[in-house]
């Protein structure tokens, strides 16, 4: 069975602070994919990033960066210099051989002006 754990329920920051969202996963599959999605107050799920299990290279894309560590089964996500528009619920998700997405419970990020 696959499991995704987002231990942080809510994070509140002041604009321009960095925000790091933790994600820990469990899977028996050797090939799997990890995702981060954003759900703003409007409700739609917005795809942010995807990583496969063979690619541990960490990258930066604009104000987003991620840290994938297979050894600790973690896939953390950072927003640098947060803005009010970053306020949303962020979901970490995993898909394995069965291609079904397993979601974490989500972390609500509130960025105050």
Partner 1 sequence: GAGVSQSPSNKVTEKGKDVELRCDPISGHTALYWYRQSLGQGLEFLIYFQGNSAPDKSGLPSDRFSAERTGGSVSTLTIQRTQQEDSAVYLCASSFRGSYGYTFGSGTRLTVV
Q: Which one, 35 or 66, has the nearer CB to partner 1? A: 35
Q: Considering the complex, what minimum distance in angstroms separates the CB of residue 36 from partner 1?
A: 12
Question: For the chain, what is the HEC assignment?
Answer: CCEEECCCCEEEEECCCCEEECCEEECCCCCCEEEEEEECCCCCCEEEEEEECCCCCCCEECCEEEEEEHHHCEEEEEECCCCHHHCEEEEEEEECCCCCEEECCCEEEEEEC
Binding site for partner 1 (CB under 8 A): 32-33, 35, 37, 43-45, 47, 50, 52, 91, 95, 98-106
Q: Considering the complex, what minimum distance in angstroms separates the CB of residue 8 from partner 1?
A: 13
Q: Considering the complex, what minimum distance in angstroms separates the CB of residue 64 from partner 1?
A: 16
Q: Which one, 73 or 80, has the nearer CB to partner 1? A: 73
Q: Which one, 51 or 79, has the nearer CB to partner 1? A: 51
């Amino acid at each position: 069975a696959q499991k995704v754990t987002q231990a942080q329920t809510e994070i509140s920051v002041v604009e321009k602070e960095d925000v790091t969202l933790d994600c820990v996963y469990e899977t028996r599959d050797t090939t799997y994919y990890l995702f981060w999605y954003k759900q703003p107050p409007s409700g739609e799920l917005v795809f942010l990033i995807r990583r496969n299990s063979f690619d541990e290279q960490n990258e930066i894309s604009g104000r987003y960066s991620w840290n994938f560590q297979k050894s600790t089964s973690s896939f953390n996500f950072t927003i640098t210099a947060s803005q009010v528009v970053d306020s949303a619920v962020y979901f970490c998700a995993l898909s394995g051989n069965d291609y079904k997405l397993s979601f974490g419970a989500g972390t609500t990020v509130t960025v105050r002006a």
